[in-house]
């Protein structure tokens, strides 16, 4: 009996020991750097959201499921809130002056954790130097870049750019592009409505696009025209996708002229037909009916003195009261005023005024021997088109914005989609909108291991309130930070909370993979 009792005690002790060991090892497994409890998870795939906890270790999503018994060094209660992958801005100008503004407040306040730069044909050159600087001095968000055609063209042609490039010059551009591709560029970007790219022909672009093909690169384009030569420009980008056999993306897609309003269906039919033929064409879009650019973009034939041309621009593309000067270094007092107002002040017709404003820029540049700061915001898109283009299953959301820009998109594009287009107008479901800011964006850019809430993916996350999220930035106050975004993580670290940046800089360089 005594022996049996001792045996029983020993067995009991052994069992306790095993149980203890199991418990310890479980506890070990269930310790995380960060746990986000009880959030409604929108995983970026566009499907129905689900309730779960997320465990983060270092820069990675380690677990998704029930972590009610686990502990984390940092724990966040996300009850009643949405948790989504950090937003990816596929067309961003937020990186100008980035080493002075490492916290990227304009981007993170709207939930953006990754930006793609090198847009509209303009990039840091050579990219390898930029990446070196960026790895020495990190910033709050992740950054990837394209190689810009205008930058390459400028470094080969210099001031003599108002012509086609020779084959020798194209070959030199190809070599520079190859160097950027070796450094990790995502592909080639063009801005064919701008100098010097506007003077290139289709062949120059196609030859350069073919350089990125063997690298698995891509092509993104501010196409040659968003108004009067629109259909030709669309034909050009589809041809590039077909001939170079690479994915092509139309940047900030828009129908920006009155006589092409209502043609979103025809455009999407062209895109769908191209996709059926194996051309991987996609687009990004920002949620505003007005754009922001140089005033000169209104004259694709560069006939700035032609008052008749100015008159037709002011009838067909945008109205005098719908052009607002964002900045105008020639006469800073004109910033914030419409062309109609300025014309009235100077007692001129709006067409004459437009021609004069540009002539004064050229004068000013000659006198000061540098570029004049100037930009306009012009309303020339139609809401119905914006919605249709945004709803196309291959369109992702972008901002086209910048930190110090005069267009409110710099601080409010993504939150505007969530507030206006999702909650108020129900043009998109919340899950679909998030997909268009994350999973689809990563797919359209070829970004790996980001854009989804998935075990093993980088812990770029945004916690926001779907009931209150909205943009606050306006034309009058373009730098007001967005409402409803509560916390933003980049590579597992919080970079934004309580409406402030945290002065952490966990962003990484994203290279083509
Ligand atoms: Zn652009």
Span 69-120, pLDDT tens digits: 999 999 999 999 999 999 999 999 999 989 999 999 999 999 999 999 999 9
Residues with Cβ within 8 Å of residue 5, at least 6 apart in sequence: none
Interaxial angle between packed helices 149-157 and 167-183, expressed in degrees from 0 to 180 and rounded to the nearest 10: 130
Tokens at 182, concatenated: 């070796």
Q: How far is the CA of 223 from the centre of ligand 1 (A)?
A: 8
Q: How far is the CA of 171 from the centre of ligand 1 (A)?
A: 26
Q: How far is the CA of 120 from the centre of ligand 1 (A)?
A: 5
Q: How far is the CA of 44 from the centre of ligand 1 (A)?
A: 26
C-alpha dist (Å) from residue 150 to 54, 346, 389, 457, 460: 43, 36, 27, 34, 32
Please state the φ and ψ torsions of residue 249, each to the nearest 5 degrees: -130, 130
C-alpha dist (Å) from residue 412 to 152, 250, 392, 403, 469: 32, 21, 22, 11, 10
Q: How far is the CA of 202 from the centre of ligand 1 (A)?
A: 18
Q: How far is the CA of 274 from the centre of ligand 1 (A)?
A: 23
Q: Which residues pair with 55 in a beta bridge?
A: 35, 63
Evaluated on CA atoms 316, 322, 325, 331, the torsion sign reads positive
Q: How far is the CA of 228 from the centre of ligand 1 (A)?
A: 16
How far is 466 from 370, CA to CA, in rounded Å?
A: 46
Q: How far is the CA of 226 from the centre of ligand 1 (A)?
A: 10
- Res 9: pLDDT: 61
- Res 23: pLDDT: 47
Q: How far is the CA of 222 from the centre of ligand 1 (A)?
A: 5
Q: How far is the CA of 403 from the centre of ligand 1 (A)?
A: 16
- Res 211: pLDDT: 98
Q: How far is the CA of 121 from the centre of ligand 1 (A)?
A: 9
Interaxial angle between packed helices 230-244 and 202-212, expressed in degrees from 0 to 180 and rounded to the nearest 10: 40
Nearest to 263 by CA among 240, 234, 285: 234
Q: How far is the CA of 420 from the centre of ligand 1 (A)?
A: 23
Q: What is the DSSP letter of 166?
A: P
Contact 120, 469 (CB under 8 A): no
State pLDDT tens for residues 33-63: 999 999 999 999 999 999 999 999 999 999 9
Q: How far is the CA of 400 from the centre of ligand 1 (A)?
A: 7
Q: How far is the CA of 65 from the centre of ligand 1 (A)?
A: 41
Q: How far is the CA of 294 from the centre of ligand 1 (A)?
A: 10
Q: How far is the CA of 464 from the centre of ligand 1 (A)?
A: 29
- Res 320: pLDDT: 98
Q: How far is the CA of 477 from the centre of ligand 1 (A)?
A: 22
Q: How far is the CA of 118 from the centre of ligand 1 (A)?
A: 11
Q: How far is the CA of 251 from the centre of ligand 1 (A)?
A: 7
Judged on CB neighbours under 10 Å (0-12, 13-18, 19+), 269 is exposed
How far is 138 from 508, CA to CA, in rounded Å?
A: 7
Tokens at 447, concatenated: 């970004």
Q: What is the DSSP letter of 421?
A: I
Q: How far is the CA of 280 from the centre of ligand 1 (A)?
A: 20
Contact 262, 385 (CB under 8 A): yes
- Res 341: pLDDT: 98
Q: How far is the CA of 298 from the centre of ligand 1 (A)?
A: 13
Q: How far is the CA of 355 from the centre of ligand 1 (A)?
A: 23
- Res 266: pLDDT: 98
- Res 22: pLDDT: 46
Q: How far is the CA of 119 from the centre of ligand 1 (A)?
A: 7
Contact 289, 379 (CB under 8 A): yes
Q: How far is the CA of 90 from the centre of ligand 1 (A)?
A: 12
Q: How far is the CA of 393 from the centre of ligand 1 (A)?
A: 21
Q: How far is the CA of 122 from the centre of ligand 1 (A)?
A: 10
Q: How far is the CA of 451 from the centre of ligand 1 (A)?
A: 23
Lateral strand order in the sheet of 87-89: 87-89, 112-117, 142-145, 509-510
Q: How far is the CA of 193 from the centre of ligand 1 (A)?
A: 8
Q: How far is the CA of 225 from the centre of ligand 1 (A)?
A: 11
Strand boundaries in 239-334, DSSP class E? 248-250, 281-285, 290-293, 323-328
Q: Which residues pair with 290 in a beta bridge?
A: 379
- For 25-85, give the secondary structure using H, E and C: HHHHHCEEEEEEEEEEECCCCCCCCEEEEEEEECCEEEEEECCCCCEEEEEEECCCCEEEE
How far is 221 from 246, CA to CA, in rounded Å?
A: 13
Q: How far is the CA of 156 from the centre of ligand 1 (A)?
A: 22
Residues with Cβ within 8 Å of residue 31, at least 6 apart in sequence: 70, 71, 72, 73
Quickly count: other Cβ atoms within 10 Å of residue 400's Cβ.
Answer: 26
Q: How far is the CA of 431 from the centre of ligand 1 (A)?
A: 27
pTM over 0.85: yes
Q: How far is the CA of 27 from the centre of ligand 1 (A)?
A: 52
DSSP letters, 445-471, are: HT--S-SS--TTSB--EEEE-TTT-B-
Q: How far is the CA of 264 from the centre of ligand 1 (A)?
A: 19
Tokens at 141, concatenated: 């968000």
- Res 5: pLDDT: 57
Q: Which residues pair with 392 in a beta bridge?
A: none
Residues of the chain with pLDDT under 50: 1, 20-28
How far is 310 from 313, CA to CA, in rounded Å?
A: 5
Q: How far is the CA of 3 from the centre of ligand 1 (A)?
A: 86
Q: How far is the CA of 150 from the centre of ligand 1 (A)?
A: 12
Q: How far is the CA of 326 from the centre of ligand 1 (A)?
A: 16
Longest dimension (CA), the chain: 115
Q: How far is the CA of 476 from the centre of ligand 1 (A)?
A: 22
Q: How far is the CA of 290 from the centre of ligand 1 (A)?
A: 13
């Amino acid at each position: 009996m005594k022996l049996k009792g001792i045996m029983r005690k020993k067995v009991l002790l052994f069992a306790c020991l095993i149980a203890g060991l199991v418990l310890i090892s479980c506890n070990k497994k269930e310790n995380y750097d960060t746990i986000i409890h009880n959030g409604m998870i929108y995983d970026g795939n566009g499907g129905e959201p689900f309730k779960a906890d997320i465990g983060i270790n270092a820069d990675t999503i380690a677990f998704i499921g029930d972590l009610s018994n686990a502990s984390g060094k940092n724990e966040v209660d996300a009850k009643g809130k949405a948790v989504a992958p950090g937003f990816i801005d596929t067309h961003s100008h937020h990186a100008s002056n980035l080493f002075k503004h490492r916290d990227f407040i304009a981007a993170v306040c709207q939930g953006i954790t990754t930006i793609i730069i090198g847009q509209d044909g303009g990039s840091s050159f050579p990219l390898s130097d930029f990446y070196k600087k960026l790895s020495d001095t990190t910033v709050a968000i992740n950054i990837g870049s394209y190689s810009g055609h205008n930058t390459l063209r400028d470094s080969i042609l210099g001031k003599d750019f108002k012509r086609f490039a020779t084959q020798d010059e194209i070959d030199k551009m190809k070599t520079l592009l190859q160097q950027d591709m070796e450094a990790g560029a995502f592909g080639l970007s063009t801005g064919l409505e701008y100098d010097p790219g506007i003077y290139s022909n289709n062949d120059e672009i196609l030859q350069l696009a073919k350089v990125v093909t063997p690298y698995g690169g891509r092509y993104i384009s501010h196409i040659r025209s968003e108004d009067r030569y629109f259909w030709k420009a669309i034909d050009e980008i589809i041809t590039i996708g077909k001939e170079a056999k690479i994915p092509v993306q139309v940047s900030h897609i828009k129908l920006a002229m009155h006589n092409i309003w209502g043609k979103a269906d025809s455009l999407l039919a062209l895109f769908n037909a191209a996709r059926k033929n194996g051309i991987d064409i996609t687009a990004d879009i920002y949620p505003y009916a007005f754009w922001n650019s140089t005033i000169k973009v209104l004259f694709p034939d560069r006939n700035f003195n032609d008052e008749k041309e100015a008159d037709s621009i002011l009838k067909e593309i945008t109205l005098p009261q719908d052009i607002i000067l964002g900045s105008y270094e020639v006469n800073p007092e004109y910033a914030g005023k419409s062309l109609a107002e300025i014309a009235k002040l100077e007692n001129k017709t709006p067409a004459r005024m437009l021609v004069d404003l540009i002539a004064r820029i050229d004068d000013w540049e000659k006198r000061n021997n540098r570029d004049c700061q100037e930009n306009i915001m012009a309303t020339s898109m139609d809401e119905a088109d914006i919605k249709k283009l945004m709803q196309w299953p291959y369109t992702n959301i972008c901002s086209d914005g910048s930190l110090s820009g005069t267009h409110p998109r710099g601080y409010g594009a993504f939150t505007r989609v969530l507030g206006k287009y999702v909650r108020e107008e129900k043009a998109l479901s919340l899950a679909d909108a998030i997909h268009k800011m994350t999973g689809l964006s990563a797919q359209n850019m070829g970004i790996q291991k980001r854009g989804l809430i998935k075990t093993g993916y980088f812990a770029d996350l945004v916690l926001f309130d779907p009931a209150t999220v909205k943009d606050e930035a306006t034309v009058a106050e373009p730098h007001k930070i967005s409402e409803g975004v509560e916390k933003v993580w980049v590579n597992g670290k919080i970079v934004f909370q309580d409406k402030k940046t945290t002065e952490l800089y966990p962003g990484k360089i994203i290279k083509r993979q």
